Amino acid sequence: MVFSSSVFLFAFMPLSLAVYFLLPWRSLRNVWLLLVSLVFYAWGEPVYVALMVFSIIANWGFALGIDRCGQEARSAGKLLLVCAVAVNLLLIAFFKYEAFLAENVNACIGAAAVPNLELPLPIGISFYTLQALSYVIDVYRGEVHPQRNVLYLGMYVACFPQLIAGPIVRYQTIEDQVLNRRETLDGFACGLRLFIVGLSKKVLLANVVAVLATDMLARGGSDIGAIGAWAGLVAFSFQILFDFSGYSDMAIGLGKMFGFSYLRNFNYPYLSKSGTEFWRRWHMSLGSFFRDYVYIPLGGNRCSVPRWVFNIFVVWFLTGLWHGAAWHFVIWGLFYGVLLVAEKLFLLKAVRKLPAIAQHLYGIVVFLFGWLLFWAEDMGQFTGLLWALVGGYGVSGASTAWELFAWTYVPVFLVCAVASTPVVPYVRSRLLQWGTGEGPSGPFMKVDLPAEKRFGTNGLCSFDLSGVGDPAKRRALECVAFGVDLALLALLILSVASVASGSFNPFIYFRF
């Protein structure tokens, strides 16, 4: 089951929320969330619910064992931690990478020595496994207390808002919220607004440009030429942004409806002026996971340059492999590893001397090239599309410019480009500045872009008028807020109509 489906929007979500708020006690609400989350997962993968339950129970037991060892038996606790890491990695390796390993080993030795079991991939296994693993590691580090109630831990691991495609929610983020969260009308309204924004991104933007991306890129560079290649690559870039960030917005919004405060996962990544900045803004929960649980334990940058380069490449090899069991994902990850090392050593100094617009163009070239590597499953596809991008097959390849139909997507591209910038928070900040009479809100590109460790979402989809003292200005801003809610209602109607009509609705997270 996915959020942008009729079953979820018309049945599962309303029923889950209705029963949740009818239950009088926090313990019952937590158990209800666990039950509906298991049903949500079992809707498409009934067999693999057992795998998730095993993961929950195993990590619950490992964490309790590590806690009981304490400081007096640190070596025993470390042994349990090693076992927990091994069990979690073996689960994900077996179900996600067994076919990839068998294919490559058999190709190397020229014989079918390793059987390819062709197991269907458990949806979301990469996300909930990393969450469970971070929980056990944090218990070992003493950063969180172990959860004694296995049902509550199960609720955290399996919680359906972030189960399928993240964001990766660490237990330390919601540890206190398991029993002490407060559901409020304002929080529910904010969550509903954010859910609508995410659903609109997914259905009205990502699904629309996905049609062009699928049509263009699959045809090959020689057929589509420069126009088709650029149109397809730009369309895919917008598709993956609004598909993924839209899903994250829906997950965070749903979490708010249930009283949880998840951290932001995207921070306008297409504004980036470098590859380094891009990865501080894109899928931030994954980046922070690899930073805190792989990069820093390896030594981070507090070591020799060769060791630091090694640490970077380990992180980016794993980042690529995490995205899928295929070599083009590994190459994509290593591309960013090479780029980030080059930027750290010398390239970023040169880029920062350029005008701001040139820096932004550099950032755009970086992520477009990265998405080309991400999409192309073999070098033939990659080189063909790259040659088309630089004009090797002419303007339109074997087609005519009219046959490509790329020109019909120009209005959608313009909407996507605007939606990729903080135009809404900028306008909101200017309105609040007018209402409160405070100082300037800052440059457009700096609005709503928090420091690296400030990923809170309380300011998303909210319009706090508590600081507006002038009654006339307050009434004016209340009218603006009402108009925004009417616009969101219109977006919801359009999105639901699109889902109900059975429009093209790809789900790109099955590989995760």
How does DSSP classify residue 121?
A: P
pLDDT at 508 over 70: no
Per-residue confidence at 358, pLDDT binned at 50, 70, 90?
A: very high
Give 23's contacts (C-beta < 8 A, 6+ positions apart): 29, 32
pLDDT at 454 over 50: no
Q: Map tokens 């304002």 to a residue.
A: 186
For residue 463, give both structure tokens. 């319009």
Segment 95-103 shows an average pLDDT of: 87
Report the predicted TM-score, pTM, of the whole model to 2 decimal places.
0.91
The pLDDT, as a whole number, for residue 486 is 94
The pLDDT, as a whole number, for residue 32 is 96
| Single-letter residue type at 107 | A
**How far apart (Å, rounded) are the C-alpha atoms in residues 398 and 40?**
46
**How far apart (Å, rounded) are the C-alpha atoms in residues 173 and 260?**
9
**How far apart (Å, rounded) are the C-alpha atoms in residues 388 and 410?**
20
- Contact (Cβ atoms closer than 8 angstroms) between residue 294 and residue 318: yes
The pLDDT, as a whole number, for residue 459 is 61
For residue 436, give both structure tokens. 């409160």
Q: pLDDT of 106-119, one tens digit each?
A: 888 877 778 887 78
- Contact (Cβ atoms closer than 8 angstroms) between residue 385 and residue 371: no
What residue segments make up the domains of the chain, in order of their start? 6-181, 190-273+352-419
The pLDDT, as a whole number, for residue 509 is 56
Give the rounded percent of residues in the chain with a pLDDT score beyond 90: 57
The pLDDT, as a whole number, for residue 370 is 95
Catalytic residues: 323
Q: Map tokens 């470098």 to a residue.
A: 274
The pLDDT, as a whole number, for residue 452 is 43
Q: Map tokens 């981070």 to a residue.
A: 300
The pLDDT, as a whole number, for residue 60 is 95
Q: pLDDT of 297-352, one tens digit each?
A: 999 888 999 999 999 999 999 999 999 889 999 999 999 999 999 999 999 999 99
- Average pLDDT in the chain: 88
Number of H helices, E strands in the chain: 24, 0
Within 10 A of 433 (CB to CB), how many other CB atoms are there?
14
String of DSSP letters for 405-430: -GGGGHHHHHHHHHHTTTHHHHHHHH
The pLDDT, as a whole number, for residue 272 is 93
Segment 432-451 shows an average pLDDT of: 64
The pLDDT, as a whole number, for residue 225 is 87
Which one is predicted more confidently, 432 or 140? 140
Helices (DSSP H) in 110-149: which residue ranges? 125-141
Which one is predicted more confidently, 152 or 458? 152
**How far apart (Å, rounded) are the C-alpha atoms in residues 512 and 508?**
9
With CA atoms as reference, report the closest residue to 325 among 116, 494, 42, 504.
116
Give 231's contacts (C-beta < 8 A, 6+ positions apart): 212, 216, 224, 404, 406, 409
The pLDDT, as a whole number, for residue 360 is 94
Q: pLDDT of 474-501, one tens digit each?
A: 898 889 889 999 999 999 999 999 898 8
String of DSSP letters for 295-314: IHHHTTTSS-HHHHHHHHHH
Q: pLDDT of 364-382, one tens digit each?
A: 999 999 999 999 988 888 9
With CA atoms as reference, report the closest residue to 260 among 26, 41, 15.
26
pLDDT at 445 over 90: no
**How far apart (Å, rounded) are the C-alpha atoms in residues 100 and 323?**
13
Q: pLDDT of 50-84, one tens digit each?
A: 999 999 999 999 999 999 887 777 788 889 999 99
Per-residue confidence at 3, pLDDT binned at 50, 70, 90?
A: confident
The pLDDT, as a whole number, for residue 512 is 54
